Amino acid sequence: MRKHPSEANLALFAGGELNRWTRWSVERHVAICDGCRRDISDFSALRADSAVLAELPEAAWSPMAAEMKANIRLGLEAGECVSPHAVSRMIFSPRALAACVSLAALLVASVFLERPAPRGTDIRTSEAVLETSGSGIHFREGDQGMVLLNQHAHEVNDLATGRAMQQSYVDSETGMVTINNVYYVE
């Protein structure tokens, strides 16, 4: 078997954010590697779960970022008032660079926290959804969710049976076949 892709590439693949060449390479690998396929499936499930969380905090990130930027600007202006150096030199001073880096980090964090992309449209809807992943059977409705996990499974078989999703596997610790079902109930 070829070398496994890095965990970061598997995570990016799960999010559909790899470039074409790397994506093609990872696709070729996961077609023959159960372990990496399962990792990707887990990353997808975790993205889905975290997307629910992304909706919950009501912090006002934009005002907070604006306030922090204002404070930084105020600090710079205060520094300028007491500084003996000319403005042209201050642009390249260590303090100004540190302020710029902080500002950039703040902007990146703001963009990441507020970016709409990770919140999949399926997650934001209150519609109940049942699906399987490498880690188990997921049921989501609104801001609540449940996963019936298949820990200690070697090989998992999935089946959609009408209003339930089913996974069967052999528990590697007990040697017993376990069949999990999560039901779609209205």
Partner 1 sequence: MAGLIFAGAVALPAQDVPFDPHSSIQINLPPDSPVSLLSTNVGESRATPRGGAMVVDLHMSLSLRNSGSRNIRGVTLLVTTQEMTPGGKASVAVPSLNIAPSQTFPIRIDLRLLRPLQAGGGPLVKVTLDGVLFEGFDFYGPNRLNSRRSMTVWEMEAERDRRHFQSILNSRGSEGLRREMLDSQVRQAERPRIDVRVSRGGPAISSAAANERMERFAFLHIPDSPVEALDGSAEVAGNEARAAQIRVMNRSPKPVRYVEIGWIVKDAEGKEFLAGSVPASESDLLLSPGQTGRALQDTALRFSRNAGEPVSIAGMTGFVSQVEFADGRVWVPNRAALQSSGLLRVVAPSPEEQRLVDLYRTKGLSAVVEELRKF
Among 5, 14, 65, 123, binds partner 1 (CB under 8 A): 14
Identify residues 110-129 at the interface with partner 1 (CB under 8 A): 112, 115, 117-118, 127-129
52 with 145: CB under 8 angstroms?
yes
Task: State the binding string over 45-74 for partner 1 (x if CB under 8 A, else -).
Answer: -xx-xx-xxx-xxx----------------
The reply to whether 184 sits near partner 1 by the rule CB under 8 A is yes
Per CB under 8 A, the segment of 8-16, 63-71, 73-81, 98-106 that binds partner 1 is: 8-16
The reply to whether 43 sits near partner 1 by the rule CB under 8 A is yes
Give the shortest CB-104-to-partner 1 separation in angstroms. 14
Q: Which residue has the tokens 């975290």?
A: 50
The residue among 161, 137, 168, 126 whose CA lies nearest residue 41 is 137
174 with 153: CB under 8 angstroms?
no
Give the shortest CB-68-to-partner 1 separation in angstroms. 20
- Which H/E stretch holds residue 179? strand 177-183
135 with 42: CB under 8 angstroms?
yes
Give the shortest CB-171-to-partner 1 separation in angstroms. 6
25 with 115: CB under 8 angstroms?
no
Burial class of 167 by CB neighbour count within 10 A (0 to 12, 13 to 18, 19+) = buried
48 with 138: CB under 8 angstroms?
yes
Closest CB to partner 1 among residues 65, 133 = 133
Closest CB to partner 1 among residues 76, 148 = 148
Closest CB to partner 1 among residues 80, 127 = 127
Say how far apart CA 151 and CA 172 lie, in whole Å. 9
Among 1, 33, 40, 91, binds partner 1 (CB under 8 A): 40
Q: Which residue has the tokens 């205060």?
A: 78
Closest CB to partner 1 among residues 14, 65 = 14
Among 1, 8, 81, 87, binds partner 1 (CB under 8 A): 8
